[in-house]
Chain A
């Protein structure tokens, strides 16, 4: 008996040691990946602090000699950075709001109603995702031209929204499918209209899907370059990606400004993600039905 106790004791110790080694290894791995991800960002940060416009440097210092926030000052004071920021925000906000409004309702229709052409419309949405975006550039450009939407916010908003929508609609539909029908029926008996049941019961429960839709729409608009470059020609309408590209000239690129701008561009995206991520929770419908 004693003997057995002892061996299991040892075994336990060994297991403990093993799991420690494994977690140590995992931590090293995770730290490694983090560094891989962080290094370029730190590098960009370092460039933005460097005096002059030196892209390459032999120094490995994170804070370079003679570091200053000069580039940031110039960015705000002497370039239309804030205007571009405003343009981008406006466009991204419009795309996000339209995207969420359309995807949440269209997804609901696909999930709950049985109408003629439902299946083919779903497949149709999927098919649009199979073409590379650059291939759509020309036809889209021609359409915008005919609609007189070239060189306007609305032009890019329309294109971004329609690019983001198919994925968002599918995504919303898939999520609605997991929300039991009887919840809405119960709400309708309790006194809601169909719309009321959608707004009070289904939408709150679909929060995670709405967040994904919002983030996806936002990112589609926020970081897009190619379409914007074709559609927006007036510098005063430029979005951030277009604006940043201006710092790159054939002879002398203003690397400091470029780097500072890129870092600032990523701030809203990160912030939005952090804010919205608290709604990205699973198991919202838990406890509603027994099935």
Chain B
């Protein structure tokens, strides 16, 4: 087992596309780290550099203590699960899994033992003699996982392994991969663009955008203390609400929305963290669960706004309410007990103790 360290890693493709820029990530031994970000942000590129399938333009990659920049993939002791499975179509499921072991000259009994064990774990024993084309998508995905785990590598790499599965299968496999991680006690790096996957599976999450790492932290850290507006908006569904405006000072600090007729008092707890922001343009960020109707405000919240429900999406245990305030869309997450019809006007309270403030220009968090 081993950790993985990327230090100042940059990738520039032929043609000048900078797919990764000065990436610094330290994955600890046995950690499950998720790389997440929107399409084209360079997640796959980073993963492929770790795998050795893509040359590193600049910077250093360590697996364990060994510098890996120029080590061929086969000598890195890693396994990778591809988004498209990449099963060997001319080999049976058994041979697909045994391939890597055969190449490494494992004795036959051990190969059999490991393949059987993996097949057992993944529930694919009955398909061992089939060819990949006779399997369903979910089964293929399991074979791809099996091929990785029989090798017992130092590091597992996953590139959106679940994106080809249907929603139910995805949830199930998600749990299975998490279980697998506990069981194998291995270092895993997992790429996805689905932040729910990232939140539920990762010990830590690396958020990327345009080839640049935005923030690294545990799921809750990212959720509660996003380092910038991008991370704040990316993590969490529905996404965080943002209001453009300005911090002003009268006898107390307050936030005045630019468009929405918003005047939000900044609570005492946050006041200390917002020094010298008076008169500055900022974004105020508020998660949907922190915009609550009168019934839930319990009389403690003071900032409020009358909003007209445009769409209401019942999710069973809760309801997402979509409002429009000027050009600013607002979404709130409320209990299912309140299920207003579209068009209803509601007085919504803002729980400002949970407000986030971001610098208007640099978009970095100020509080």
Spell out A's residues near B (CB within 8 Å). Answer: 114, 180, 182-183, 185-193, 196, 200-201, 204-205, 283-291
Residue from B72, B74, B90 within 8 A of A284 (CB atoms): B90
B53: chain A residues within 8 A (beta carbon): 185, 188-189
Over the window 158-170 of chain B, the binary record of Cβ atoms lying under 8 Å from chain A Cβ atoms (1 yes, 0 no) is 0000001000000
Q: At the interface, yes or no: B230 with Cβ under 8 Å from chain A?
A: no
A191 engages B131 (CB within 8 Å): no
Spell out B's residues near A (CB within 8 Å). Answer: 14, 51-53, 72-74, 76, 78-80, 82, 84-90, 99-100, 103-104, 131-135, 137, 140, 147, 151, 164
Q: Which of A187, A205, A289 has the most CB of B within 10 A?
A: A289
A-B contact pairs, 19 of them (CB 8 A): A185-B73, A185-B80, A185-B82, A188-B52, A188-B53, A189-B73, A189-B79, A190-B99, A191-B74, A191-B103, A200-B99, A204-B90, A287-B133, A287-B135, A288-B85, A289-B82, A289-B85, A289-B87, A290-B140
**What is the chain B residue whose CB lies nearest that of A193?**
B74
A190 engages B147 (CB within 8 Å): yes
A289: chain B residues within 8 A (beta carbon): 82, 84-87
A287: chain B residues within 8 A (beta carbon): 87, 89, 131-135, 140
Main secondary structure of the interface of B (DSSP, over half): loop
A187 engages B104 (CB within 8 Å): no
A183 engages B86 (CB within 8 Å): yes
A285: chain B residues within 8 A (beta carbon): 89
Compute how far the CA of A131 lies from the CA of B76 in the bound complex, rounded to whole angstroms: 51
B147: chain A residues within 8 A (beta carbon): 186, 190
B52: chain A residues within 8 A (beta carbon): 188-189
A283: chain B residues within 8 A (beta carbon): 133
**What is the chain A residue whose CB lies nearest that of B79?**
A189
User: How near does chain B come to A77, taking the closest CB pair, in angstroms?
Assistant: 48
B132 engages A190 (CB within 8 Å): no
A182 engages B84 (CB within 8 Å): yes
B140 engages A187 (CB within 8 Å): no
A189 engages B88 (CB within 8 Å): no
User: How near does chain B come to A199, taking the closest CB pair, in angstroms?
Assistant: 12
User: How near does chain B come to A231, taking the closest CB pair, in angstroms?
Assistant: 41
A186 engages B82 (CB within 8 Å): yes
Compute how far the CA of A205 lies from the CA of B137 in the bound complex, rounded to whole angstroms: 21
Compute how far the CA of A186 lies from the CA of B134 in the bound complex, rounded to whole angstroms: 20
User: How near does chain B come to A194, taking the closest CB pair, in angstroms?
Assistant: 8
Given contacts A187-B99, A190-B74, contact A284 B151 (CB under 8 A): no
A288 engages B103 (CB within 8 Å): no
A200: chain B residues within 8 A (beta carbon): 99
Residue from B76, B99, B132 within 8 A of A288 (CB atoms): B132
A291: chain B residues within 8 A (beta carbon): 84
B74: chain A residues within 8 A (beta carbon): 188-193
Compute how far the CA of A289 lies from the CA of B141 in the bound complex, rounded to whole angstroms: 10
